[in-house]
């Protein structure tokens, strides 16, 4: 999808806020511990390369991505830090990871055996850096049995591998009830005890663990995901324990302003009909930009005041009822702060029945990204 650079609509990213959030997490950790910045899914909509480059200059310890292609994008942009692919990479592409010094997650013995055979057959010159995933209760990927983990450790003695790290992921670290979290902690320690020596990176803490369970962290590295971008991973369930600053806003400018006569309707389905003469503005953003149709009838900010959207959100445009006639070019804030009011990703998520992660990651590449340091 082409980026619409010649349109008055954009995602504004405050890089200073991201750096602030990382610094806040670092201050809450024991000295010497490390932080991996999670920049998968285009850095949760903020722009992976720009965010990673800024964090690199600020001394981040490494990056996490979801797919090998995302890691390659960072390498091609000149990033030299550790890059870990959190998802499972098909064995046939693992040589590309080794050649580009990208670390891979492995969660079963068969994968290691398959790569071992491949590496010896084609003589891949560099060792493949491996992080073993432990499935302590997420039920997604990773080792669950100590016996199989021991077998994996034997395979990792082959020089085609470099055992760089191990980790797990928690399913309920952002919930008030910590019973299941404690079960996962127990399984983590059970599997960790299988390792005769620990690898350089031991990371069991995600954003939620870093916020609400710092005393339970066993390891030396925290993976910062949504908290790095200033959002609470629990939504509104638990108050954040760190001073998090949201880093992203979505703004646009009115492209058209008209007076809608009483009895006239707006947008597809004619779901909104004016009861009196009203001023209506058109905003050049729609659901193709990630502003979901479910937000039809919600609100945006104009001059610090909440204004109602009217009619259905279209693919590329939507309409807003104005407090009075306003000029074309007036700024509209769809997500973020304007004056003394703010529309947050969590607010939009609750309105649509999803989570704040989805609000951010749904923002389309068609929206240009503008960065403030």
Neighbours of 52 (CB within 10 A): 23
What domains can you pick out in the chain, each with its CATH number? Answer: 15-229 (3.20.20.10), 248-343 (2.40.37.10)
Whole-angstrom Cα distance, residue 223 to residue 127? 24
Q: Which of 40, 44, 272, 291 is catalytic?
A: 40
Q: Round to the nearest angstrom and report the end-to-end CA distance of the chain.
A: 26
User: Using one digit for the tens of pLDDT, what is the confidence trace for 272-324?
Assistant: 999 999 999 999 999 999 999 999 999 999 999 999 999 999 999 999 999 99
User: 268 catalytic, yes or no?
Assistant: yes
123 pLDDT higher than 90: no
In the chain, the percentage of residues whose pLDDT exceeds 90 is: 97
User: Using one digit for the tens of pLDDT, what is the confidence trace for 170-183?
Assistant: 999 999 999 999 99
User: 331 catalytic, yes or no?
Assistant: no
What pLDDT does residue 162 have?
Answer: 98
User: Using one digit for the tens of pLDDT, what is the confidence trace for 40-67?
Assistant: 999 999 999 999 999 999 999 999 999 9
In the chain, the percentage of residues whose pLDDT exceeds 70 is: 100
136 pLDDT higher than 90: yes
| 315 among annotated binding-site residues | yes
Whole-angstrom Cα distance, residue 67 to residue 70? 5
| 264 among annotated binding-site residues | no
Q: Which of 258, 268, 357, 372 is catalytic?
A: 268
Which residues 6+ apart lie within 8 Å of 71 measured at CB? 63, 65, 83, 84, 85, 97, 100, 102
Q: Locate tokens 């670092």: which residue?
A: 26
Instruction: Report how far Cα 265 is from the mean position of its chain's Cα atoms.
Output: 38
Question: Residues 44, 290: contact at Cβ < 8 Å?
Answer: no
Choose among 93, 91, 45: nearest CA to 71.
93
Q: Locate tokens 């703010």: which residue?
A: 342
């Amino acid at each position: 999808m082409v980026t619409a650079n010649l349109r008055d609509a954009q995602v504004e990213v405050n890089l200073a806020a991201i750096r602030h959030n990382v610094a806040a997490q670092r201050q809450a950790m024991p000295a010497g511990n490390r932080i991996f910045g999670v920049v998968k899914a285009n850095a949760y909509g903020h722009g992976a390369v720009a965010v990673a480059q800024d964090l690199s200059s600020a001394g981040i310890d490494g990056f996490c991505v979801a797919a090998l292609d995302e890691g390659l994008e960072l390498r091609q942009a000149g990033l030299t830090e550790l890059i870990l692919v959190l998802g499972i990479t098909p064995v046939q592409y693992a040589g590309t990871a080794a050649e580009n010094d990208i670390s891979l997650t492995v969660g079963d013995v068969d994968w290691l055996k398959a790569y071992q055979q491949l590496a010896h057959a084609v003589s891949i010159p560099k060792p493949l850096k491996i992080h073993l995933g432990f499935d302590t209760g997420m039920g997604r990927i990773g080792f669950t049995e100590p016996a199989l983990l021991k077998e994996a450790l034997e395979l990792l003695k082959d020089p085609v591998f470099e055992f760089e790290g191990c980790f797990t992921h928690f399913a309920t670290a952002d919930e008030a009830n910590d019973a299941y979290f404690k079960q996962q902690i127990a399984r983590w320690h059970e599997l960790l005890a299988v390792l005769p020596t620990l690898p350089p990176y031991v990371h069991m803490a995600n954003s939620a663990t870093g916020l609400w369970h710092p005393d339970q962290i066993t390891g030396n590295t925290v993976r910062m995901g949504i908290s790095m971008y200033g959002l609470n991973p629990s939504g509104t369930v638990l108050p954040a324990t760190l001073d998090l600053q949201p880093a992203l806003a979505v703004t646009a400018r009115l492209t058209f302003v008209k007076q809608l006569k009483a009895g006239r309707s707006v947008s597809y389905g004619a779901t909104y009909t004016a009861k009196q003469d009203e001023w209506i503005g058109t905003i050049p953003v729609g659901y193709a930009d990630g502003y979901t149709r479910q937000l039809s009838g919600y609100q945006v900010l104009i001059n610090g005041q909440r204004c109602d959207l009217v009619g259905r959100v279209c693919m590329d445009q939507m309409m807003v009822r104005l407090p009075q006639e306003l000029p074309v070019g007036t700024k509209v804030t769809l997500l973020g702060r304007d004056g003394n009011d703010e529309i947050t990703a969590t607010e939009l998520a609750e309105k649509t029945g999803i989570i704040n992660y989805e609000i951010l990651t749904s923002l389309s590449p068609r929206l240009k990204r503008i960065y403030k340091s």
